Amino acid sequence: MKWAVGVTTAARPEPTLPRTLASLRRAGFESVRVFDDREQVGAWSNWLGTLRALLKTSPRADVLLACQDDIVCCRGLRAYLDRSLWPDGNVAICSPYCPGTYRRAQPGWHQERRGWHLVGALCWAIARSAAEAIVEDLGAVEASRQIDARVGRWAAESGRTVWYHTPSLVQHTGIGNSALGDRLVNDLRRAADFVGEEADACCIRKPS
């Protein structure tokens, strides 16, 4: 598959972007664009603008990977996603990052039906058609945050599916909301079973 990768970033008390970019390269994503919220439009507007820009500048991309600047990935993530996407033909998003509370007993992709209560917009793989629909349907929404909740509700209302992966192939390196200096850590903000930066995603059993 052809990929377009965007990383959203903003000023943080502790810089996290360099580690994220290095991890994405080890994961197999050689070309990454960074979208810096210099104008402080907020996470939602910056994320939506990232989708718009990737769709426009990468017209041949099959998949958009929208990441935040405080994640790390396992090695070989791109190759694994290339062979495991998509779990069905009507996907809104597939999240390689899996919050601790979303963990399942069996490895592979599992569907989450949480609507407005969806969490974990740290690293989402989005099919081009779904990204185009998000921009079309939610492009006029003015907000500063809650990417996960807005897309979760949109997916539920439009009949599209949302999938997360067990074990987690991505980890949140932030300490809570590191953009705000919030150091709270809980199962919604950390993966309990991240395979590790040095682990190779090809070791994960291919979902049936």
- Enter the pTM of the model: 0.90
Strands (E), 135-186: 161-166, 170-172
How wide is the angle at C-alpha 126 spanned by C-alphas 97 and 10, nearest 5°? 65
pLDDT for 192: 86
What is the distance between the alpha carbons of residues 145 and 68, in angstroms, rounded to a whole number?
13
* Torsion angle, alpha carbons of 81, 87, 93, 97, to 10: -50
Would 84 be classed as within a structural domain? yes
Condensed to tens digits (0 to 9), the pLDDT of residues 150-164 reads 999 999 999 999 999
Q: What is the 8-class DSSP label of residue 97?
A: B
What number of H helices and E strands is found in the chain? 5, 9
Domain that holds residue 88: 3-203
Give tens-digit pLDDT for 1-29. 999 999 999 887 788 999 999 999 999 99
The residues, any chain, with a CB within 8 Å of residue 55's CB and separated by 6 or more, are 4, 61, 64, 128, 131, 132, 135
Is residue 179 in some structural domain?
Answer: yes
For residue 30, give every residue at least 6 positions away whose Cβ sits within 8 Å of its Cβ, in sequence order, or none.
none
81 pLDDT above the threshold of 90: yes
Based on the structure, what is the number of domains in the chain? 1
Residue 208 lies in a domain: no
pLDDT at 33 over 90: yes
- 155 assigned to some structural domain: yes
Residue 145 has pLDDT above 90, yes or no: no
Residue 186 falls within a domain, yes or no? Answer: yes
Per-residue pLDDT tens for 86-141?
999 999 999 999 999 999 999 999 999 999 999 999 999 999 999 999 999 998 88
Q: What is the DSSP letter of 104?
A: -
- Answer yes or no: is 132 within a domain: yes
Cα 25 to Cα 20: distance, rounded to the nearest angstrom: 9
Residue 200's nearest CA partner among 11, 38, 112, 73 is 73
DSSP labels for 27-86? TT---EEEEE-TT---HHHHHHHHHHHHHHH-TT-SEEEEEESSEEE-BTHHHHHHHH--
What CATH number is attached to the domain comprising 163?
3.90.550.10
CA distances to 4, 51, 157, 182 from 116, in Å: 27, 20, 10, 22
Percent of the chain with pLDDT over 70: 89
Backbone dihedral angles phi then psi of residue 57, each to the nearest 5 degrees: -90, -15
